[in-house]
Amino acid sequence: MAAAINQMKHDLPSLESLKVFEAAARHLSFIRAADELCISKGAVSYQINKLETQVGQALFKRSVRQIYLTENGQALYITTGQVFNQLRKQLTQISEDNANTVVTVAVSTYVAVRWLSRKLIGFNEKHPQINVLLQHSVNDENFNLQDVDLALRWSDDKSCLQDECVASAPIDMYPVCSPLLLKKHGITETSDLDEQRFEQSPLAQTQLLAEEHNQDCWQQWFDIAATELNNPRSLIKDSNVRVQSAIDGQGWMLADQLMQNELNNQLLIAPFHKVLKGYNYALLSHPKRHLSSNAEKLKQWLVAQLANPF
């Protein structure tokens, strides 16, 4: 088999002959082909004669003022045109990939610090030539998905558009607070707590550390807990600051699986059983944005990571 393949390689005409033929066939002129390729008319004739001798067939009909393709010449021209176009596309893609070693990912600092950054170590070791640039504009009002290659964004099931969402990981959310907060209000046994205690003193006066209005889910949690939301709120836009504020005992926050470290170390506790569902960390890509092969590699890697994220 190997010998047959090697023999077939040796039987192929030279690339130079095929390139000259394609130009001459496209222009139906040896002179124009010579001008395009920056060679002499004699060099064009030499390459065409060499190719015709090798294939054993005339490829052009020659007259005093004009040349025409034979039937075999027309068939070969169609094939060489397709092959050269494919070569151009492939070389352009390789060139673009070499230029586009940077892949931009929009992600909040909360997700970057608690999940993506440590995960990227493995990707960087496997693909050291790809530079992953993290942008933290994903929650900005003027954020445009088309300005980045990929985005990791918190969303609910309804807002994750099907044509933009590549993959997603479901998240659960639940209230957490510092043991310091409960101790401050004289609560020492969390087993005595239930969701209805939020309606009673002293929990009714404790702060709810909240996100911006379009991302605040406290009302949804109180709805599933079948209790009234009367607590004062404190708006803290930065998720990392909100976590630290909760640790410092300033109030309650809605946590998710990315805060498991704080729960394991008893910096925060989750005393209630009601869990808010229907939200995701979604991997997004604009359907009309062309992704380089490097961006495609990162996209597929992130899809695999989201299959078992926590």
Q: What domain range is 18 assigned to?
A: 2-98
My answer on whether 272 and 176 are in the same domain is: yes
Residue 48 has a pLDDT of 93
Rg (CA), the chain: 33
Boundary-marking domain end, from 98, 114, 144: 98
Name the domain boundary from 98, 133, 159.
98
Query: pLDDT (tens digit, 9 = 90+) per residue, 15-29?
Result: 899 999 999 999 999
- The verdict on 145 and 285 lying in the same domain is yes
Beta-carbon contacts of 255 under 8 Å, excluding residues fewer than 6 positions away, are 173, 174, 175, 176, 246, 262, 263, 268, 270
Q: Is there a single domain that holds both residue 109 and residue 204?
A: no
Q: Which of 70, 98, 126 is the last residue of a domain?
A: 98
Query: Is residue 134 located within the same domain as residue 265?
Result: no
Q: What is the CATH number of the domain that holds 181?
A: 3.40.190.10
Tell me what pLDDT residue 144 has: 87
Residues 145 and 219 in one domain: no
Q: In the chain, which stretches have pLDDT less than 70?
A: 1-10, 93-100, 157-163, 192
Query: What pLDDT shows up at residue 5?
Result: 43
Three-state DSSP class for 16?
helix
C-alpha dist (Å) from residue 222 to 174, 201, 216, 274, 276? 10, 16, 12, 9, 9
Cα–Cα nearest to 96, from 249, 238, 300, 291 = 291
- Residue 157 has what pLDDT? 62
Q: Note whether 92 and 57 are same-domain residues.
A: yes
Average per-residue pLDDT in the chain? Answer: 87
pLDDT of residue 8: 46
Which residues, listed in sequence order, are joined to residue 102 by a DSSP beta bridge? Answer: 131
Whole-number pLDDT of residue 141: 77
Per the structure, the count of domains in the chain is 3
